[in-house]
Amino acid sequence: MSNKVDASLQRLASKYHADVLEFRDEIIKELCWMTNSEIAYFYATDLDEAHLTLLGYSKGVMDACAIVDPKQVYKVSETGLWGDAIRERAPIITNDYATSDRPSKRGIPDGHVPVYRHMNMPIFGGVLDDRIVAIVGVGNKPDPYTQEDVSNVSLLMHTVWNKFAKALWGFQV
């Protein structure tokens, strides 16, 4: 386990019994810290993995966002590049958003927080760990995202997901 993951897990352990919103905010804060990212987000999926519901995003995102009444629920089929983590069931790294040639890229909506670099990944859960239960994403790290970032975020989220789900819904998914 990397030192960053270990440090994040130690800090989060003190929040396991906190209010669910505080726990969520701490997870998002750790995602930013661990990857040295400016922004982060956290979405839950529905049972058929067709919709994403916003759970939260890092502090400062809405201060930098000029979108009026941003959506809380998205159809995966209507998402751009950030939905690829669900469609491909794998982490997605985009280290130069402006020049990305991913077919799903639709651009950034007017008023959206600028995105230069982006990494997101599915969080698997359920009885067989085969269903995507959430996605997390980070953005605008000063340096390129690496496989180490993927491994660290994956390990952190795999470790805390069940505790978060139980706090959010009262049961593990």
Locate the domains of the chain by residue range: 3-169
| Planar angle of CA 34, 26, 129, nearest 5 degrees | 75
Task: Provide the token pair at 20.
Answer: 């669910």
Q: 172 falls in which pLDDT band (50, 70, 90)? A: very low
Residue 173's pLDDT band (boundaries 50, 70, 90)? very low
**Least confident residue range of 59-68, 93-102, 126-135:** 59-68
Claim: this prediction has a pTM higher than 0.75: yes
- Measured N-to-C along each axis, helices 20-35 and 147-169 cross at an angle, to the nearest 10 degrees, of 180
Cα–Cα distance measured from residue 163 to residue 171, given in angstroms and rounded to the nearest whole number: 9
Burial environment of residue 41 by CB neighbours within 10 A (0 to 12, 13 to 18, 19 or more) = buried
Q: Distance (Å, rounded) from C-alpha 171 to C-alpha 173?
A: 6
SS3 137: strand
**Given a cut of 60, is residue 17 above it in pLDDT?**
yes
Class of domain 3-169: alpha beta
Predicted confidence at residue 26, as pLDDT, reads 93
The predicted-structure confidence for 76-93, as pLDDT tens digits, reads as follows 999 888 899 999 999 999
